[in-house]
Structure 1
Amino acid sequence: MSEAAHTGAVIGPNAILQLLPQIERIGGEERVAQMLAQAGIFDVPDGSHMIPETDAMRLHQVLRREEPELAPQLAAKAGRETANYILAHRIPNLAQYVLKALPAGLAARALSAAIAKHAWTFAGSGNFRVVSPWRFEIAQNPIVRGEHSDTPLCHWHAEVFARLYQVLVHPSCTCREISCCAAQSDGVCTFAVTRALVR
């Protein structure tokens, strides 16, 4: 029985579904099938319900192991498409209109609160915390659980945050993972959102 089956830990299906087209882009359907099999995923999610977080964890780990040079770019693209899905299907148009009309500081405060409310969809059993409207933490991030790296690995999460802030707060926003639980002993991934200063 998987760890997820024991704990009930689940995550949003886009953690897998948005990664598959990126893998297909570099290796076709055969490469997708190969990586899914290596990750032990034999039933691709249909997007209608949450999935075991360990499935997503294993696929992201397989990608990083098999394509170490391309993995950051592919994961970031998958994160961007995940955010686009959220914008198209999960955030009402009226709420998006209001956020875009607010000053950036107020919009960031409102958006960070909304992200925290729905954190279980992308953090799974990890502990998400808003440090400030421009900084987040995920303790025990399941996407990189058990991995070790000298550099941050959570490109998918960083790009989800970046895209949401670009659309709803300010187009110049970027997000960078400034510390990763794969590299730090404290088991916390920290993400910082910044925006260009108006000249």
Structure 2
Amino acid sequence: MNNIATNTYGKIGPNSIIQTVAALKERYGDSKTAEFLVNIGRSDLTEKLPAEMVDEQQFNELVRSIQSCFGDKELTQLLRRSGELTAAYLLKHRIPVPVQWILGILPVRSGLKMLLAAIEKNAWTFVGTGEYSFTIEKNPKIMIERCVSCRGMSAGEPICAFYEGTFQTLIRTIIDDRAVVTEKTCSAAGAAACVYEIRLSV
């Protein structure tokens, strides 16, 4: 297992909110999304989306509101789409194409290890005061302790599909186009950490 990445600032990237709002608009349209945001006290998001780092609790509260209004199954679908959109943004604006190409031509496990290590260096931007770690041996996994998207929440099944969607899209695009990332355990369901299993095609 690699070193754990920690952060004490309690800030995460704005895409957590930007892309979740985008996922809501895709699914429900602008009008219903605006109505939902007004009802949960976030009318500001109907006027201007954040452009800088945001308090991690803002994302947690948005997730809680979606869960309360739409239920767990709809929450996971919305968050998975939000994660996919976040990954698309990262691939376009944050991970240089030459780097993506180099990682892609390496042996799959070597490329995956380098990608997850690179993610680790900036993990605080998406786990906030949580902790990110990963393992490559035998069955590759990503672990997030004190996960922002479900911290303090309860659910009967894993609900942190935001990270599931982000990791799977990044790995499929750069490393293995048939890889599958599945959240196997979730803090909201009583586990010690949210654990994402990475199944490779080779």
Pairwise same-fold verdict (TM > 0.5): yes
Q: Look up the SS of the partner of 1:98 in the other structure.
A: helix
Alignment of 1:82-161 (within 5 A): 82-132=86-136, 134-161=140-167
Offset at 1:185? 4.8
Distance 1:10 1:193, change over 3 A: same
Identity %: 28
Offset at 1:42? 4.1
Offset at 1:29? 2.2
Query: Quick one: distance in 2 between partners of 1:131 and 1:40?
Result: 40
Tell me if structure 2 keeps the 8 A contact 1:128–1:139. Answer: yes
The corresponding residue for 2:199 is 194
Offset at 1:88? 0.2
The corresponding residue for 2:4 is none
Query: Normalised by the size of structure 2, how large is the TM-score?
Result: 0.87
The corresponding residue for 1:12 is 13
Tell me if structure 2 keeps the 8 A contact 1:146–1:182. Answer: yes
5+ residue gaps, structure 1, are 1-6
Alignment of 1:154-169 (within 5 A): 154-169=160-175
Query: Normalised by the size of structure 1, how large is the TM-score?
Result: 0.88
Query: Quick one: distance in 1 between partners of 2:111 and 2:191?
Result: 33
Deviations 1:116-144 (A, max 9, x none): 11111211111111233721111111111
1:49 aligns with 2:31: no
5+ residue gaps, structure 2, are 1-7
Deviations 1:14-63 (A, max 9, x none): 11111112212333223222332344434336453111111111111111
Q: CA RMSD in A?
A: 1.8
The corresponding residue for 1:26 is 27
Query: Quick one: distance in 2 between partners of 1:19 and 1:99?
Result: 28
Count of residues paired in the alignment? 190
Tell me if structure 2 keeps the 8 A contact 1:35–1:62. Answer: no
